[in-house]
Amino acid sequence: MTQTSPLVTAEDLRHRVKELLEAHDPAHTQPLDFLRARFDAGLAWVHFPVGLGGLGLARELQSVVDAELAAMTAPDNDPRRIGIGLGMAAPTILVFGTEEQKARFLRPLWTGEEVWCQLFSEPGAGSDLASLGTRAVRDGDGWTVTGQKVWTSNAHNAQWAILVTRTDPDVPKHAGMTYFICDMTAPGVEVRPLRQITGEAEFNEVFLSDVRIPDSLRLGAIGDGWRVAQTTLMNERVAIGGRPLPREGGMIGSVAGTWRDHPELRTAGTHDRLLELWVEAEAFRLAGMRLQQQLAAGAPGPEGSAMKLTFARLQQQLSGLELGMLAEEGLRYDDWTLRRPEGVDFYGRNAGYRYLRAKGNSIEGGTSEILRNIISERVLGLPSEPRVDKDVPWKDLPR
């Protein structure tokens, strides 16, 4: 990646934003045309290389661009709808993609013209992702893929997917994986809804039946899929748990709003508990800002697992407190309509929805149990758990 230039200042970036706005006035430019122009000006991801939506600058300078454009009510790319592409696919393509892949996928990914999903988990390989069994078999200049994936957010809207497969069953499970980009409109791809506790079907199961993938859509080397997947997973945990928020943003804002709007619900006990969680949420927010600063120096590390772990715990505790404050009113959740939403919504709708949706936070993006293992072993340096299957060929593992 292009090195950070010490000559480019925040004021230089403001000038570049001004030039963009003068050439493409948001009031008279179609949103998609504006987003394309912003990408081409290097103002999509300023830390990406020149020509790929960036300027090769420090990541923290992105906030300068975002603030200037927000002040002029410029259109954004609806990050909630394309979060998987932005937070997981793009960083992986940047690190492991060929020049042709970067040129082909990053621009429409960022502008929202193409939605992405993530084909990782399987019915028998969730927390232990490396045990996955979806097979990719070499077939001339491409691959034939057969298997099943599950818990796939937004698969019903996606044009593309990041996909991990088993290409060599004769080696240990971590060594025989290969990573692909999969066309979700290809013959043999079937998406079925998974109805959740909220009533909606944000998740899906995806069946792959002899799906043909050209070798040009492989990311990384054959058999190196686990290493490529680690880049995706580290970015995923930051995308879920480390997103920058304003003070009292996110779930704490919803709960504090309920407290302020309903003085009849206030008790000494709920006041003390809300204050305790408000402090924790603020500490979490500040830790997220520090993490974003650390990311300016490179890719996410295992520390992002702590952010995602804390995010899940806080979401569940805060939504539980809100439901407890509202008592019977909070239990009146009756919106069981089967929706097929366009993105993940952690905070929307009402208290009942927030409480139910938060139950998934400790599973998606890596279970809390797995994240604790990562933190203990890779951050704290504690002894790892015994792994008796580490050197056993995948085909010999019990299933």
Q: What is the CATH number of the domain that holds 272?
A: 1.20.140.10
Rg from Cα positions in the chain:
22
Q: Are 154 and 190 in the same domain?
A: yes
Q: Are 218 and 235 in the same domain?
A: no
The pTM score is 0.88
- pLDDT confidence of residue 173: 94
More confident residue, 77 or 5: 77
Whole-number average pLDDT of the chain: 90
Q: Are 249 and 336 in the same domain?
A: yes
d(CA 292, CA 187): 40
- Among residues 193, 208, 102, which one has the least CA distance to residue 156? 193
Residue 239 in contact with residue 83, Cβ under 8 Å? yes
Q: Is 91 within the bounds of a domain?
A: yes
Q: Are 204 and 140 in the same domain?
A: yes
Q: Are 217 and 234 in the same domain?
A: no
d(CA 212, CA 345): 33
- pLDDT confidence of residue 35: 98
d(CA 159, CA 182): 9
Confidence of residue 242 (pLDDT cuts 50, 70, 90): low
The DSSP code sequence of 23-62 is HS-TTTS-HHHHHHHHHHTT-SSTTSPBTTTB-S--GGGH
- pLDDT confidence of residue 295: 61
Q: Are 336 and 367 in the same domain?
A: yes
- pLDDT confidence of residue 365: 77
Domain boundary among 46, 76, 106: 76
Catalytic residue among 200, 236, 303, 322: 236
Q: Are 187 and 308 in the same domain?
A: no
Could you write out the three-class secondary structure of 326-363? HCHHHHCCCCCCCCCCCCCCCCCCCHHHHHHHHHHHHC
| pLDDT-wise least confident of 9-13, 161-165, 334-338, 362-366 | 334-338
DSSP state at residue 393? B
Q: Are 324 and 243 in the same domain?
A: yes
Q: How many structural domains comprise the chain?
A: 3
* Structural domain harbouring 119: 85-223
| pLDDT-wise least confident of 54-63, 64-73, 141-150, 285-294 | 285-294
Q: Is 300 within the bounds of a domain?
A: yes
DSSP state at residue 159? S
Q: Are 140 and 26 in the same domain?
A: no
236 is catalytic: yes
Res. 302: pLDDT tops 50: yes
Q: Are 218 and 233 in the same domain?
A: no
Domain boundary among 171, 206, 223: 223
